[in-house]
């Protein structure tokens, strides 16, 4: 809470408080120093007076102590006691220390004590003792403190008034003017110039604030120009984007249409390719059949010769067998005819077998070709 109070305190009062503290602290130190000096001076004066009284009594009381007549010394003691600082005077005889004279008054303050021996030649007659109150020292210190405090208070009050007036004229009012100009600057009031007719620190701050106002005005003008240009560019870009979007839509439609046409062309090409493959397959099959036909015709031609030979041999053999049967039936079969038939039969059988084998081989070859 205290920190918040000091943070919210006006700069004027902060400076005045700092100045007052700066006056009071050295003043208090100076007061203590002066009080110490006054105390030393008054204490020395008191000690010096006490020594003078003691010296005087030690000389003046020789005769009364020598004559043992206290009435001669009583006026001297009374005269010393007229000093209000003296609280006690005591005179004793030697050597038994009997009281010869004594006067005292109550003392509320501490006292200082001074003693002197009383001699006549080399003979000791007695001793005088004085006690002086230090109240005068304390009173002197209090008076000095009071005078210094009044002097310091008057000086501080006059200094504070003068500094308050100077601060108000040279600091507070310019700062308030700076605050008003800053508020106007924050509110965007940049047309009115900030007038400053002083060249001190606050005047330089005011001139700097005016320069800032001018720079802000120029910057805001540039920003407005840039914003206008940006608006124009945004409108042009928006129009370009709209045109691009339209062109993209048309292009997409054209691409869709072209894709559909390409799909239809691909489908037609697929059908044509399938027809071409079927035609190729049919041509290959036709070519195979044509080649097979030519090969079968060649094979048939090749087979006709052995088959014809075999048929010829078979027919001849059949005729010979029929002839032998007729001869056997007629009973005129000769052994020589039978032997000749038997001799010719192996070669004829071999030729028939070879012809049959060749026919079978060609038939197998033909079937394998047909199968292929």
Q: What is the span of the domain harbouring residue 86?
A: 2-174
pLDDT at 27: 73
Q: Tell me whether residue 115 is in a domain.
A: yes
Looking at the fold, whether 169 and 294 belong to one and the same domain comes out as no
Do 161 and 303 lie in one domain? The reply is no
Beta pairing partners, 133: 111
Residue 193 lies in a domain: no
Decide which of 174, 198, 226 is a domain's last residue: 174
Res 175: pLDDT: 74
Q: Which of 372, 326, 370, 324 is nearest to 344 (CA)?
A: 324
Cα four-point dihedral sign 329, 335, 337, 338: positive
Q: Which of 174, 202, 223 corresponds to the end of one domain?
A: 174
Averaged pLDDT for residues 89-96: 87
Q: Which pLDDT belongs to residue 51?
A: 93
Quick check: is 125 in a domain? yes
| Final residue of a structural domain among 174, 189, 218 | 174
| Number of folded domains that form the chain | 2
Provide CB contacts within 8 A for 133, sequence distance 6+.
Answer: 84, 85, 86, 87, 107, 108, 109, 110, 111
In a shared domain, residues 14 and 140: yes
Lookup: tokens for 15: 């400076």
Q: What digits encode the pLDDT tens for the residues 54-63?
A: 899 888 888 8
**Residue 12 sits in the same domain as residue 157:** yes
Does 52 score more than 90 pLDDT? yes
Order across the sheet with 86-93: list the strands.
99-104, 86-93, 123-133, 111-120
Q: Are 356 and 310 in contact (CB under 8 A)?
A: yes
Is 281 a domain residue? no
Q: Mean pLDDT of all residues in the chain?
A: 77
Tell me what pLDDT residue 13 has: 67
Indicate which CATH number applies to the domain containing 86: 3.30.450
The residue among 80, 141, 87 whose CA lies nearest residue 109 is 87
pLDDT at position 202: 67
- Whether residue 83 is contained in a domain is answered as yes
- Tell me the C-alpha to C-alpha distance, in Å, between residue 154 and each of 20, 31, 150, 321: 12, 15, 6, 186
Question: Does residue 187 sit in helix, strand or coil?
Answer: coil
Q: Does residue 358 belong to any structural domain of this protein? A: yes
Together in a domain, 294 and 162: no
The answer as to whether 242 is a domain residue is no
pTM, 2 dp: 0.42
Does 34 have pLDDT greater than 70?
A: yes
- Summarised one tens digit per residue, pLDDT across range 278-308 is 888 777 777 777 766 676 566 556 556 666 6
Determine, yes or no, domain membership for 240: no
Check whether residue 293 and residue 167 sit in a common domain.
no
Same domain, 170 and 293: no
């Amino acid at each position: 809470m205290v920190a918040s109070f000091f943070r919210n305190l006006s700069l004027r009062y902060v400076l005045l408080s700092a100045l007052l503290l700066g006056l009071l602290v050295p003043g208090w130190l100076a007061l203590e120093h002066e009080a110490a000096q006054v105390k030393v001076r008054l204490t020395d004066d008191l000690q010096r007076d006490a020594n003078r009284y003691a010296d005087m009594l030690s000389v003046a009381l020789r005769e009364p102590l020598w004559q043992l007549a206290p009435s001669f010394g009583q006026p001297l003691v009374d005269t010393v006691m007229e000093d209000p600082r003296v609280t006690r005077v005591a005179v004793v005889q030697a050597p038994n220390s009997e009281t010869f004279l004594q006067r005292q008054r109550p003392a509320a303050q501490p006292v200082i004590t001074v003693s002197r021996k009383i001699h006549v030649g080399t003979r000791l007659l007695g001793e005088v003792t004085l006690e002086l109150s230090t109240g005068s020292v304390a009173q002197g210190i209090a008076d000095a403190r009071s005078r210094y405090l009044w002097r310091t208070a008057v000086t501080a009050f006059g200094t504070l008034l003068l500094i308050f007036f100077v601060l108000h004229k040279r600091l507070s009012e310019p700062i308030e003017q700076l605050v008003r100009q800053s508020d106007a600057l924050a509110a965007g009031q940049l047309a009115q110039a900030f007038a400053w007719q002083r060249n001190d620190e606050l005047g330089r701050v005011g001139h700097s604030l005016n320069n800032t106002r001018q720079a802000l005005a120029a910057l805001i003008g540039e920003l407005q120009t840039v914003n206008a240009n940006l608006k124009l560019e945004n409108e042009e870009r928006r129009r370009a984007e709209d045109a691009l979007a339209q062109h993209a839509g048309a292009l997409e439609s054209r691409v869709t249409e072209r894709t559909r046409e390409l799909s239809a062309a691909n489908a037609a090409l697929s059908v044509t390719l399938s027809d071409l493959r079927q035609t190729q397959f049919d041509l290959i099959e036709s070519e195979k059949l044509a080649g097979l036909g030519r090969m079968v015709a060649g094979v048939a031609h090749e087979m006709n010769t052995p088959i014809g030979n075999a048929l010829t041999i078979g027919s001849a053999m059949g005729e010979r067998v029929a002839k032998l049967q007729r001869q056997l039936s007629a009973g005129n079969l000769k052994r020589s005819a039978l032997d000749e038939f038997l001799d010719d039969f192996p070669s004829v059988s071999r030729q028939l077998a070879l012809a049959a084998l060749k026919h079978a081989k060609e038939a197998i070859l033909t079937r394998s070709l047909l199968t292929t």
